[in-house]
Amino acid sequence: MTIASLDTTPASDATVNHVNHAPRHPHARPVGSDSYIWIDGRGFPKTGNPKYLLPNDDIECQRLTTQHYILGRVIKSPYRAPITEALEKGIKVLNVGCGPGAWSKELAVRFPFSTFVATDIADVFNATGSPPNVTFIVADTFKLPFEDESFDYVFQRFHCLCFTEAAWPTIIRELMRVTKPGGTLELVEISCTIHDAGPVTTTYFEKLRMTMLMRGVNSNYAPLLGGTMTSEGLENVKHEQVKWNIGWGHPELGRLTTENTAATFGGLKPQMLLVLGLDEEEYDQTVREAIKELSGAYPSYWTIECFHGTKPDPDCDAPER
């Protein structure tokens, strides 16, 4: 396992422009949409994952799109698996739980000879301007609508709030099922703990962790995924940790990460009001204090856990461990 951290060199103009110029959605989807339940002005799809606390409205899609471009700078690439040469030649790629689809759209532009399929349980895709080699499909990750051994590369990112701890082996088996022998499965996850945070932030995320545990979701399961991948039969599983600074380090990325975290607080508000036992003004004040802590007052950071492994190919010798 290797550990990396966000460097302090200036971000490229292209990266900053991607973040600042991502499509803006200042309002949630129109109230009255038959497919959404509305709580305090935020939209939750009726057919979405009941374990998931965050909404799936336009505001959240904007947050996820911005987060995608921040992560590309923090992790140095949209992916960590050694898959670039294969992508350049042309392979079939599945992006599971894609949200608005920024990951698939970016890679489809970079690798026009590869074919990308992106799935999510909710129809939140921003397909506008998508390259012709991307297809979006509404699908449940527990039962993907694909034949066995359909994809050369399967990618999933940031699902720590989506699945119970008991469900993770089932999820990995399903992702392996649709991966071709010799293909690559990559999981990029994050634990819902902010390290070296101030007292208000620490209390908030401890309450969030306990809330998820009551739903059967271990929001700090991410570091354990490598063992689960290996036990489910993936070979040559590699693990890398990346430190993601919040509000410090690189000025632009630190600021953008704080803003993105603030947007996460906003998305969690309808559910967390009940958990914290606060009224709306008290919640907003708590968030303001947490954001102040996350704006450089403490050297806070997330830890991103990156894993990738190979599905065994019975026609080839097993790779060295």
| CATH number of the structural domain spanning residue 255 | 3.40.50.150
Per-residue pLDDT tens for 260-299? Answer: 999 999 999 988 888 788 899 999 999 999 999 999 999 9
233 is a domain residue = yes
Q: Dump strand ranges (E) for the chain.
A: 2-5, 36-39, 42-45, 92-96, 115-120, 134-138, 151-157, 179-190, 235-245, 301-310
Instruction: State yes or no: pLDDT of 143 exceeds 90.
Output: yes
Confidence label for 33 from pLDDT (cuts 50, 70 and 90): low
15 is a domain residue = no
Instruction: State yes or no: pLDDT of 240 exceeds 80.
Output: yes
Instruction: State yes or no: pLDDT of 24 exceeds 80.
Output: no
202 is a domain residue = yes
The phi-psi region of residue 161 (left if phi > 0; otherwise alpha if psi is between -120 and 50; otherwise beta) is alpha
238 is a domain residue = yes
Q: Are strands 115-120 and 36-39 parallel, antiparallel or unpaired?
A: unpaired
86 is a domain residue = yes
117 is a domain residue = yes
Q: Domain range for residue 230?
A: 52-310
Per-residue pLDDT tens for 217-230? Answer: 999 999 999 999 99
- Starting at the edge strand found earlier in the chain, the sheet holding 235-245 runs 2-5, 235-245, 301-310, 179-190, 151-157, 92-96, 115-120, 134-138
What local confidence, expressed as pLDDT, does residue 200 receive? 97
Residue 8 half-sphere exposure toward CB, CA atoms < 13 A: 4
Give the residue among 77, 70, 78 at the shortest CA–CA distance from 16: 70
CA distances from 321 to 230, 312, 317 (A): 11, 12, 12
d(CA 100, CA 130) in angstroms, rounded, equals: 11
The phi-psi region of residue 251 (left if phi > 0; otherwise alpha if psi is between -120 and 50; otherwise beta) is alpha
Q: Considering its fold, how many domains does the chain have in total?
A: 1
d(CA 110, CA 53) in angstroms, rounded, equals: 33
Helix (H, G, I), strand (E, B) or coil at 306: strand
Helix (H, G, I), strand (E, B) or coil at 216: coil
Per-residue pLDDT tens for 241-259? Answer: 999 999 999 999 999 999 9
82 is a domain residue = yes
Percent of the chain past pLDDT 90, that is, above it, reads: 70
Q: Higher-confidence residue: 115 or 5?
A: 115
Residue entry with tokens 């990951």: 103
Confidence label for 215 from pLDDT (cuts 50, 70 and 90): confident
38 is a domain residue = no
